[in-house]
A and B are shown apart, each in its own frame.
Chain A
Amino acid sequence: MNNKFVWTKKDLLGLEYLSAAEIKFILYTAGSFKEVTTRQIKKVPALRGKTVVNLFYEPSTRTRASFELAAKRLSADVLNIAVESSSVKKGETLIDTGRNIEALKIDIIVVRHNCSGAPNILARSVSSSVVNAGDGWHEHPTQALLDMFTLQEKLGKIEGLRVSIIGDIAHSRVARSNIWGLTKLGAKVTVCAPGILIPEGIEKMGVKATTDLNEALEGADAINVLRMQFERDTAVAFPSKLEYLKNYGITTERLEKCKKNIVIMHPGPINRGVEMSSEVADGKNSVILEQVTNGIAVRMAVLYLVSAAKEIRR
């Protein structure tokens, strides 16, 4: 990696706003942090004296825990604010919450919000760094970065890979961030879902869309299987779990027709027996748990980079 590359962005709001070089730089830096996570003492002093707040307007266990661990392994102090117990319930606006957090001298705000674009608004209103941990149907950049990191680790590169994203594309920020990131790094992306779950005009993002699972699986180097959110938006458009499994569920039989070393990813939590069978989820092609491990390294890299960029601006 070029030693002269300088990261200058104080926020990570989405992969849409990053160049291919910036994405590659995050992935390279994450590789260095991965080594830290394999040590006996998994802690480095890079963010000592900094404070990171996890501001979550939506319930989340794994992303929040992953960010918290990443911050702690960088020696930062971490504050968790869950909205159910905050003054947002009393009517405080996002910007006011942000300014109050800033007044507490917080360095980095990790925010998850059910409204698309909320992190962008927050980033404009505060001088603290803002990291998007998922906003509405918009982006989930660190998830896509960890997917790409895992892919690169498994297959050695991203450029030229054929990656299919299967599931509720319409309501998925994971899909959107993956599409931005993968296409910028030169992968050929196909999205696959029942027609009603594919947004119109998705081809403009540089991907191929299909309703035929066999077409999405054939020749694919990797598939990213999204979680079907039957408890949320998905059910409105596509109510039948069984119908989904029958036509779009990844099963051992379907896998037999795929490339032998196809990489199977899933952002979790898995609905076993809905988007994929247990045999596939636990099988040799699945990298689902490695994604979880890599998530910490990727988030360490992101926190480290945005924090340093803020110092340069000062």
Chain B
Amino acid sequence: MVVREKSKVMDKEGIDKALERISHEIVERFEVADDIAVIGIKNRGSYLAERLVLKIERLIDKKLLVGALDITLYRDDLTQVAAQPVVHATEIDFTIEGKKIILVDDVLFTGRTIRCALDALIDFGRPKRIQLAVLVDRGHRELPIKADYVGKNVPTSASELVEVRLTEADGKDEVVLCEKIP
């Protein structure tokens, strides 16, 4: 399968602005920051979570808990994917019991990743609430899952891909709409 880039959906500035807006929305909705923890889904969700935490901390002048979740072992398609994904370590070194969790991922698509993440999180304890923040919502949900904070809605067709590239992993910040050419 060949992937062709069609258009740039967000640039570095756009990503930063979207995260800035989400951080403001989070601060508005939560009165007490004491029990908020931000957990990103590996890999790119966890980079976004770290950026988001820095922005929120600047707004409220308080340290937040931040963690990273690897959902590989919870995937429902382990038997279907061509090559089994590499299992990375989950890094949550605090208890999530009673916490208000903001789960962060780069792209919201079918909702299956989020389903895995919810299962994985709940194996760590019983949070008070879980909210979802994503940089891009591209539609095509297969499960009843919805994001609480969305950086940008990007209408897509099923044959398209949304690639989020972040400096931490890819050397630059951009969101690109791609097309699969069979």
| Stretch binding the partner chain, chosen from B16-24, B48-56, B83-91, B147-155 | B83-91
Within 8 A of B (CB), among A15-70: 28-29, 31-36, 39-41, 43-46
| Stretch binding the partner chain, chosen from B28-36, B70-78, B106-114, B137-145 | B70-78
B125 adjacent to A40 (CB under 8 Å): yes
Known A39-B123, A45-B74: A31·B84 in contact at CB below 8 Å: no
Q: Which A residues are CB-close (under 8 A) to B78? A: 46, 308, 311
Q: Which B residues are CB-close (under 8 A) to A43? A: 123
A308 adjacent to B123 (CB under 8 Å): no
Partner of A35, one of B79, B83, B89: B89
Which size bracket describes the interface of B in this complex? 20 to 34
| Stretch binding the partner chain, chosen from A3-11, A122-130, A140-148, A212-220 | A3-11
Binary per-residue interface labels of chain B (107-128) against chain A in the complex, 1 for a CB within 8 Å, 0 otherwise: 0000000000001100111000
Tell me if A304 is interfacial: C-beta within 8 Å of chain B: yes
Residues of A in contact (CB 8 Å), total: 29
B84 adjacent to A7 (CB under 8 Å): yes
Please measure, in the bound complex, the distance between the C-alpha atom of A86 and the C-alpha atom of B78, giving whole angstroms. Answer: 34
Binary per-residue interface labels of chain B (150-166) against chain A in the complex, 1 for a CB within 8 Å, 0 otherwise: 00000000000000000
Q: DSSP class of B's interface residues: helix, strand, loop or mixed?
A: loop
Q: Which B residues are CB-close (under 8 A) to A305? A: 84
B84 adjacent to A308 (CB under 8 Å): yes
Please measure, in the bound complex, the distance between the C-alpha atom of A304 and the C-alpha atom of B70, giving whole angstroms. Answer: 15
Q: Which A residues are CB-close (under 8 A) to B79? A: 311
B86 adjacent to A309 (CB under 8 Å): no
Tell me if A103 is interfacial: C-beta within 8 Å of chain B: no
Please measure, in the bound complex, the distance between the C-alpha atom of A32 and the C-alpha atom of B87, giving whole angstroms. Answer: 6
Please measure, in the bound complex, the distance between the C-alpha atom of A33 and the C-alpha atom of B84, giving whole angstroms. Answer: 15
B87 adjacent to A312 (CB under 8 Å): no
Tell me if A236 is interfacial: C-beta within 8 Å of chain B: no
Tell me if B82 is interfacial: C-beta within 8 Å of chain A: yes
Identify the closest chain A residue to B97 (Cβ).
Answer: A40
Known A39-B124, A41-B124, A311-B78: A29·B73 in contact at CB below 8 Å: no
Tell me if A104 is interfacial: C-beta within 8 Å of chain B: no
A312 adjacent to B86 (CB under 8 Å): no
Q: Which A residues are CB-close (under 8 A) to B90? A: 32, 35-36
Known A40-B124, A45-B119, A46-B73: A3·B86 in contact at CB below 8 Å: yes
A36 adjacent to B73 (CB under 8 Å): yes
Known A35-B89, A311-B79: A44·B84 in contact at CB below 8 Å: no
B89 adjacent to A32 (CB under 8 Å): yes
Identify the closest chain B residue to A50 (Cβ).
Answer: B79
Identify the closest chain B residue to A30 (Cβ).
Answer: B87
Please measure, in the bound complex, the distance between the C-alpha atom of A1 and the C-alpha atom of B72, giving whole angstroms. Answer: 15
A312 adjacent to B73 (CB under 8 Å): no
* 6 A-B contact pairs sorted by A residue (CB < 8 Å): A1-B88, A32-B88, A39-B123, A44-B120, A46-B72, A309-B84
